[in-house]
Chain A
């Protein structure tokens, strides 16, 4: 099972409509994924020379203000954070790699769930209604977003194993299905310097795209290459800083519906998630073809 949803506004600035609309879509996919829920939002851009990173603390109260102070001292720049439940989004005016090394040394209790100019990633065990309210989804603005409700078939039910998986700057992926060659692909990608945190198959697909984009491929080219290299069942929805893409495997057992209007593109595992969107009744609606990349970029 699993339910995936995506909403992509084709143009314009970040809109406050994004969070409430994504919340409605996710709640329609409740029955498809009762184990965990996650979403990635593309919100405001970090200032020049800075990046955003979403960190997740272990259970219990966490002193994010103390971490802000520590980061400011270590990197000699203010690192403001916004806290949402167990997660916090930091904006850091430094290069990501030294920050990640520092976090690994000093704060190995923290998970890095996503980083880049605009991406913010939130995920946790629980139903979409609960997880959404934990992270104040209805109050979140942005230009596009992906969401996932998980019914685990392949690896453990934990926050870390929840989707979306983000393995590179501003890239994230949600997946309905299961990959059969992920262990071997993970080994190869590790040799290429891609970092993996879990034993989850979807994380490998995200890492694969990160690797291909790093090689200079476009998002469409990276997904076409994935058709040859990733084996298994999948419907993927992928987000980048300015892009949104859908790919189904050649057998296309895992469902997917796409809808497009002049203003937005939406994708969901089932139409009832799209039906919640304004203008859905007049949208062009179709089932994406097997082994065909659908990709949009913001204008």
Chain B
């Protein structure tokens, strides 16, 4: 375990050290203390390392993450795990707006609540929220899965393309072109699998599924040959 104190060194120094870890190196476990809301902590990691951050972080923590496992023992500011590619990011507290924005892969777990626009423009990431999400979550989502054990705010899934949304609690309102869909046994299995992977305790049978009605598409599949 390598301890890194952000009260003594800068975020840039931390990130440069984390970026230097090679695939065969032994520096696998890192603990970051005194984050004090600093921005861009553990951004751009590409090695399969474990980074634990003790305290609250600022904006864009673990952005563009690939392969690494980042755990935040506190709350996270705007843009947590923005554009995550793979690996996992876990927040033990709450996350501010735009968590996992445009994430392409990997897993983002928010044990508390996520604020507005959680999973905005998601492109393949799996997001599991233990609490509730704010308004316009999964806005323009293109692929991936958003699982919310609590409630969803206004305009859930507005202008969604193809991502899947599962909500256990209430939905304040659905956004344009977002509709409730059938919850098949395969969907229940998928939710159960992701909940287990995320280590979030909830009954997969209690979720409802939402997704795109596909009325906002600019193309129609029957006309595909004409494009």
Binding site for B on A (CB under 8 A): 252, 255, 257, 270-276, 281, 285-287, 289-290
Contact = CB atoms under 8 A, between A and B. Distances in A.
Contact of A252 (B56, B75, B93, B97): B97
Given A287-B94, A290-B116, A281 B55 contact: yes
18 contacts: A252-B115, A252-B116, A252-B134, A252-B135, A255-B77, A255-B96, A270-B59, A270-B77, A271-B37, A271-B56, A272-B36, A272-B37, A272-B38, A275-B36, A275-B56, A285-B75, A287-B94, A287-B97
A286 B132 CA distance: 13
Given A255-B96, A270-B37, 6 more contacts: A252-B97, A257-B96, A271-B37, A272-B37, A272-B39, A285-B93
A246 to B, nearest CB: 15
Q: Which of A252, A255, A287, A289 has the most CB of B within 10 A?
A: A287
A28 B58 CA distance: 12
Contacts of B134: 252, 289-290
A271 to B, nearest CB: 4
Given A255-B78, A271-B75, A272-B58, A287 B115 contact: yes
B55 A286 contact: no
Contacts of B36: 272, 275-276
Contacts of A289: 134
B153 to A, nearest CB: 8
A270 to B, nearest CB: 6
Given A255-B96, A290-B135, A285 B56 contact: yes
A271 B135 contact: no
Interface in B58-104: 58-59, 75, 77-78, 93-94, 96-97
Nearest to B136: A251
Contacts of A273: 37
Q: Which of B36, B78, B97 has the most CB of A within 10 A?
A: B36
A275 B37 contact: yes
Nearest to B77: A271
A270 B58 contact: yes
Nearest to A31: B39
A255 B129 CA distance: 21
A270 B58 CA distance: 7
B178 to A, nearest CB: 18
A275 B96 CA distance: 16
Contacts of B115: 252, 287
A272 B61 CA distance: 13
A287 B112 CA distance: 12
Given A270-B59, A271-B58, A287 B37 contact: no
Nearest to A28: B37
Contacts of A257: 77, 96
A274 B37 CA distance: 9
B140 to A, nearest CB: 15
Contacts of A287: 94, 96-97, 115
Interface string B19-59: 00000000000000000111100000000000000011011
B56 A255 contact: no
A287 B55 CA distance: 16
Nearest to B55: A281
Contacts of A270: 37, 58-59, 77
B40 to A, nearest CB: 12
Contacts of A276: 36
Contacts of B38: 272
Contacts of B97: 252, 255, 287
A275 B55 CA distance: 10
Contacts of B75: 271, 285
